[in-house]
Amino acid sequence: MTYRVCFVCTGNICRSPMAEHVFRARVEEAGLGGAVEVDSAGTGGWHEGDGADPRTVAVLEEHGYSSGHTARQFRASWFPALDLVVALDEGHLHDLRRLARTPDEAAKVRLLRSYDPAAGDALDVPDPYYGGSAGFEECLEMVEAASGGLLDAIRTALRGNEPMERTP
């Protein structure tokens, strides 16, 4: 069984590609590369075909992650093939749940930081696009902090149990 996860932000050039690359590295480190597929997309198509924002690429590479990426827009037709759709903020969560065609599809959408127990009630990963490099570093820290809990939830799902997470 292959577990498929897709990270989603607004334009698929900052937060979601960062989450995709960080999480893919965690999956590989855990020896689950053959069992988990990791992808990303945006709620909008403004940047379709573009690479990741240069600041995203710089932060990823500075911290030893891969950075190759081509932006694309999330499609409702993808839901059946996905096991988990990970939203980077509440706006994405609501957009994706509205896009879902069934309650089961809507239930696949979760917030990334809901997998980070230290996040408390602050479950949004702020959009770094309009700021400087510090915002991209903060984004990376939040993504890395949530990746362990997400990996644990997927391991649980792969064993045939429902992932345990806080529901926003």
d(CA 16, CA 56): 10
Q: Of the listed 6, 15, 26, 124, which one is catalytic? A: 15
- Backbone region of residue 150 per phi and psi (left: phi > 0; alpha: psi in -120 to 50; beta: other values): alpha
Residue 15 annotated in active site: yes
Q: Of the listed 50, 83, 127, 152, which one is catalytic? A: 127
Residue 4 annotated in active site: no
4 forms bridges with which residues in the sheet?
37
Q: Helices H, strands E: what count in the chain? A: 5, 4
Element (H, E) at 139: helix 133-158
How much helix, strand and coil, in percent to the nearest 5, is found in the chain? 45, 15, 40
Q: Of the listed 6, 9, 14, 139, which one is catalytic? A: 9
Q: Active-site residues: which are they?
A: 9, 15, 127
